[in-house]
Structure formats: structure tokens, C-alpha cells
Amino acid sequence: MSHIRKQNEYEKTPAFYFFRWLGGEKDAFVGNMEMHPQKEYVEEEATIEERMRDRQQAMTEVYDRAHNKELIFFNKLYKALSVIFCIAIAAVLIYAISYLPSVGEAEKPTNNIVSETYIKDGYKDTGAVNVVTAMILSYRGFDTFGETTVLFIATCCVTIMLMVDKDKIRENKDSNDRGFEPRNDAILQTVASLLVPMVFLFGIYSILNGSMSPGGGFSGGAMIGAGMILYVAAFGFDKMERFFNENIFKIVRVVALSCYGCIILYYILTGAYGMECLLPQGEAGEILSGSVTACTIYALYALFRRGGL
């Protein structure tokens, strides 16, 4: 049985205080604590001089740098030991490398049954000609999903640290970073207008063709992200916002990542029970992880440049 409490009774409960604090109606600390804004530390001329004098005094009189034999000896020993230590580590590493098998040797310990199985059954199991793609997206799809999630979380953290309010961006538009650059640089714009379409095309090609040829989701996405950075550097954020803004970024990131998670889950479930997989393997995962990567790389750049997308 539940009954509705009276208002004045409810106001005494901890839940009321908690929700009032959560809603931001009343800050529990305001009025109850002494709070002062931190003053900016300004160093006076006299204190700087005094500090320099103190330091000089300590160096000459207390430590007696010029004549203290122990200190001089320690400094020389420190330098000599650090050089010896570096050379010793390098020697040990080079000695260890000389025991490694040479590249392409047939009897290498890594040429065992695992890689043989991947190369032999890769096409049959996954339908991808490129063995690297077969490994990354099918045999170790769960790993790749984790990597994409790490990228997503990294962007979230950077956003929390670097994001600036939208109003502030608008206020400081002229005093922004962009003001310190040559605007409408003819060379940069001409080169960018030639290069950006090709970079985009090559990125899309290597995403779509990842199961046939080298390249794939991550490298194709990185290429598209780099192309977007080039476009922004040449033409500015205003033109960029015509086809890529914060809302599109949010939608692409969340939708692509959740679809990717569903596909990986589907692969794992069908694979675990030995069922036949209906989806074409590889392609969809490549496209989704590629779009997440491209967005992430561009977002990092935009956040560093002006604190917002």
C-alpha cells in the first residue's frame, strides 16, 4: 500500500533535500561555507629579486658549488653512469635481437598451426579474401569492437575536458584561433580543392574494398578524417558546418557504434551455435567502424582547435 504524504511532511525527508539539491534549486554549500574566488597570483619585483638572491646565496655559500668536491664528483659520476647504463641496455637489446629468426624464414616458431589455419580456412569461414580483414573483423571481431568503444570513450573524455559553451564560441568568434591565421590562403585553398575529393574517394574505396584489398575500416576512416581536417584548415569551420555539425556527429557516432555492437553480437551468437550466417561478413562492420573512426579523428581536431564541433 502506498499513500501520498502531505507536503509539509515530505519536506522534512532526506529525499526532498536530495532532489532539491539535484534539481539545482538550492546549493547546499552557498551561505553555509566561506567561499572566495581564487585570486590571481601576482609576483612583485622585490620578491623575485629576493628569491634570486636567496638562490644565489644557497648555491655559493651553503652548497659551495665551485669547491664542493663531493658534489662535483657526484655530478661527473652521474653523467658517466647514465652513459654506461644506456650503452649497456642497447647492447643487451641488440644481443637479444641477434637471436630472433630472420624475416620470412619457414621454420619460424610463429609459423605454426594457428596462422596456417587462418590462411587456409579464412576465405571459407569469413568470405573475405584479405586475411587481415578476416582476422580483424571476424575471428577477432570482439577485439575490434572493444577498440572502437575505446575510441568512443576517448572522444567523450576529450569532449568533457575541452568543450566550450556554444555562446562563448559565438561571442569570441573574431578573437578566436581563426583570427591568427591567414584567411583565404590561395595556395592552400587550391591544393585543398584538388586533394580533398581524392582523399575522400580513396578513403571510401579502402573502406568498401577492405575485404578484397589492403586497408579497411580503421585506415579508411583515418583517411576521411584527415581529409576533413584539410578541408577545415583551408576553408574554415563555417563551410564545414554545412555538411558536418555536432548533431550529425552525435547521430553517426551513437548509431554506428550500436549497429556495430548488434552485428558483432549476431556473429558471435551464430558462430557459437554453429548456425549459418545470413549477413555478408566484413562489409557492414568495415563501414560502421570506418565512420566512427573518421568522426572521432575530425572531432579531436575540432575540439583542440576551438573547443567545440
Partner 1 sequence: MQIFNVILLGFLVVCAVSVSFSKNLLNSILIYMSYSLIMSIIWILLESPDLAITEAAVGAGVTSVLFFVTLKKIHALQQAPEEEENDEPYQKTE
Binding stretches for partner 1 (CB under 8 A): 103, 130, 132, 177, 179-180, 182-183, 206, 214-216, 218-219, 222-223, 225-226, 229, 297, 300-301, 304-305
Q: Nearer Cβ to partner 1, position 73 or 304?
A: 304
Q: Compute the least distance from the CB of residue 248 to partner 1, in Å.
A: 20
Tell me phi and psi for residue 215, to 5 degrees. Answer: 105, 180
Q: Nearer Cβ to partner 1, position 136 or 288?
A: 136
Q: Compute the least distance from the CB of residue 241 to partner 1, in Å.
A: 19
Q: Compute the least distance from the CB of residue 6 to partner 1, in Å.
A: 57
Of 301, 308, 201, whose CA–CA distance to 245 is shortest?
308
Q: Nearer Cβ to partner 1, position 210 or 263?
A: 210
Are 63 and 71 in contact by the 8 Å Cβ rule? The answer is yes
CA distance 123 to 120: 7
Q: Compute the least distance from the CB of residue 233 to partner 1, in Å.
A: 8
Q: Nearer Cβ to partner 1, position 169 or 277?
A: 169
Q: Compute the least distance from the CB of residue 234 to partner 1, in Å.
A: 13
Q: Give the largest CA-CA distance in the chain.
A: 88
Q: Compute the least distance from the CB of residue 229 to partner 1, in Å.
A: 6
Q: Nearer Cβ to partner 1, position 226 or 277?
A: 226
Q: Compute the least distance from the CB of residue 204 to partner 1, in Å.
A: 14
Q: Nearer Cβ to partner 1, position 57 or 213?
A: 213
Q: Nearer Cβ to partner 1, position 88 or 255?
A: 88
